[in-house]
Structure 1
């Protein structure tokens, strides 16, 4: 998962060929769209993630509506979904919003027997993203497991290796930032895990569970440690004198009424 701006701009897993395409003018060459799409599916299979490369695909679709592939777009959005709280999903949506309206009709004409699944799935993806952004993890899992999201699960996220664990990573980042301890029941609702699976996951994180109380201890980190800060300012007398003199010079004269 991307944790720094440097890794977001240039992930260490990005191949040299993709680096050349993303960093130069070739990113706007429509003949390279197949290379970028293949790289996306490599990300789907390997749990790697490269937002800039995926945005380049959406930009090519924007400039070249005939290249539009709804399955590719949906997979890009799925990868961006688990980047929360980072704005990757919104960046992708902004390019879709600007995509020419003719793109959908062009794709439909090319595949009349296969309707575009994006209009149906985009509201679901947007709702899932909103729940992750708001840290409403139990609601996220309830929606994700519901019949309304069956098409997304059966046709797309099932192919995205580690998708559910990537969602759990989002929840873990939020818990680390807000808690020093949390009940195992509450944590389990955030992670959609219980029993031995939850215990194994917590141990994998390096956290501990109190067997008697069921309380999970979250190790200290800069986000969950509240420390008071005392700010002291030292102003020398000569500096203060200059401030007073300047204020006296710039103050407006008082005009008395006659």
Structure 2
């Protein structure tokens, strides 16, 4: 999502979902199945609709019997890569009163995975990209990878788009070794990705040049204040009275 308008009303949102998200049916528990199906459509298609997903979590909050931990985990995964929007924190804020697990035969995976997902989110927010990939590839996140993100089409590329946004804003040039740790790509995969971005790799030096953009260009700004004599007189007079 590049704009607040697209965040609030994604162009891929159907009229049916728009009515559920924006109308009085937002709080109708009988519609939770439609919203859950829409979430899994997002998982399969690389689309994303935060407000629709928040509506699901809100329905779970009002109707604990509807709670589905797998759905919540998938919502958090989609929100993980929404930077710079605060989607992840919005979702977390609605989970404070989630129901306790009452079925010992089907243990709730959320309590064990939530700390891992939250730490991944924090690492992304802090731009600690090598640490993010290290945790994501670790044994701690094995269940998350094997059962959830593997089903989320384009998840790793979505993370890389977050990285690219940050790199574009902070660098004019960056070493390929450094960028490799940021993107978790090496060799030909890294070269192909850099080429796809339209960046230039100097094979002799290993330095990648990033095209100019408003964020990575340092331009001096001259601020000129135009104070009239009459305004200055008023300031002096006021200071004397004080």
TM-score between both structures, scaled by the size of structure 2: 0.97
Give the TM-score of the pair, scaled to structure 1.
Answer: 0.91
Which has the larger displacement, 226-235 or 155-164?
226-235
Residue equivalent to 2:51: 52
Residue in structure 1 matching 2:114, options 109, 119, 122: 122
Residue 123 of structure 1: how far off its partner (Å): 0.5
1:155-170 residue pairs with structure 2 within 5 A? 155-170=147-162
Residue 254 of structure 1 is matched in structure 2 by: none
Superposition map of 1:19-34 within 5 A: 19-34=18-33
- Alignment RMSD, CA only? 1.0
1:85 aligns with: 84
- Alpha-carbon deviation of 1:153? 0.4
Q: Which residue of 2 aligns with 1:198?
A: 190
Quick check: 1:230 aligned with 2:222?
Answer: yes
CA distance in structure 1 between the aligned counterparts of 2:238 and 2:130, rounded to whole angstroms:
60
Query: Superposition pairs for residues 58-73 of structure 1, below 5 Å?
Result: 58-73=57-72
Q: Secondary structure at the match of 2:208?
A: strand
Q: Confirm whether residue 213 of structure 1 aligns to residue 205 of structure 2.
A: yes
Q: Is the 8 A contact 1:37 1:72 kept in 2?
A: yes
The superposition leaves residues 155-205 of structure 1 with CA deviations (integer Å, 9 ceiling, x where unpaired) of 000000000000101110110010000001100110000110000000100
Helix, strand or coil for the counterpart of 1:230? coil
Once the two structures are superposed, what CA deviation does each residue of 1:114-139 show, in whole Å capped at 9, x if it has no partner?
Answer: 10000010011011111111111111
Alignment check: 8 A CA contact 1:176 1:224 kept: yes
Is the 1:9–1:52 contact (alpha carbons within 8 Å) kept by the matching residues of 2?
A: yes
Greater Cα offset, 34-43 or 82-91: 82-91
- Is 2:153 the counterpart of 1:182? no
Q: 1:137–1:171: 8 Å Cα contact kept in structure 2?
A: yes
Structure 1: stretches of 5+ with no match in the other structure = 252-258
Question: Residue 95 of structure 2 aligns to a residue in which SS?
Answer: helix
Deviation at residue 247 of structure 1 after TM alignment:
3.1
Structure 1 residue 104 displacement after superposition: 2.2
Structure 2: runs of 5+ lacking an equivalent:
none
Q: How far off its partner does 1:148 sit?
A: 1.2
CA distance in 2, matches of 1:222, 1:132: 22
Secondary structure of the 1:234 match is coil
CA distance in 1, matches of 2:234, 2:165: 49
Distance in 2 between residues matched to 1:157 and 1:235, nearest whole Å: 59
Alignment deviations for residues 200-234 of structure 1 (CA, whole Å, 9 cap, x no partner): 00010011101111100011111111111110011
The separation in 1 between residues aligned to 2:90 and 2:211, in whole angstroms, is 33
